[in-house]
Structure 1
Amino acid sequence: MIFPLEELIEYDGNMYEITSAASRRSYQLSMLKDPDIEDNDGKVVSLAARQVFTDQIDFHLED
């Protein structure tokens, strides 16, 4: 799976929150040079989105 389109379509939460979480996670993965990036054909954003949508990572927005 390159990008979790089905999860995106079915998502009924705050779209800003999940977009922000995926964006921040993408940055983290690229800075850490995570080996999972290579397994995902170098696609950092889709890897981060998959991690967010499948609850592999927890996230919350701070006030």
Structure 2
Amino acid sequence: MVFPLEQLVEYDGNMYEITCAASRRAYQLSMMKDPEIEKNDGKVVSLAARQVFTHQIEFRLEA
């Protein structure tokens, strides 16, 4: 799976917020050594972005 560009282009929310969420999720996945990473050819950021855009995970930013 490559980076979900279609979903990124269609996204009409806060771009900073979604970027932070995907970045944090990518960090979590790499620290946990999630087996899903190998299924995604080692592409942690694209996996994290897909999870955020498809609402597999929920996120909120705290001030």
2:45 paired residue number: 45
Higher mean C-alpha displacement, 1-10 vs 43-52? 1-10
* 1:19 corresponds to 2:22: no
What is the TM-score when the length of structure 1 is the normalising length?
Answer: 0.97
SS class of match (1:30) = helix
Unmatched 5+ residue regions in structure 2? none
SS class of match (1:41) = coil
Cα RMSD (Å): 0.5
Identity of aligned residues (%): 81
Moved segments of 4+, more than 2 Å:
none
- Distance between the aligned counterparts of 2:8 and 2:56, measured in 1? 15
What is the TM-score when the length of structure 2 is the normalising length?
Answer: 0.97
- Distance between the aligned counterparts of 2:14 and 2:42, measured in 1? 27
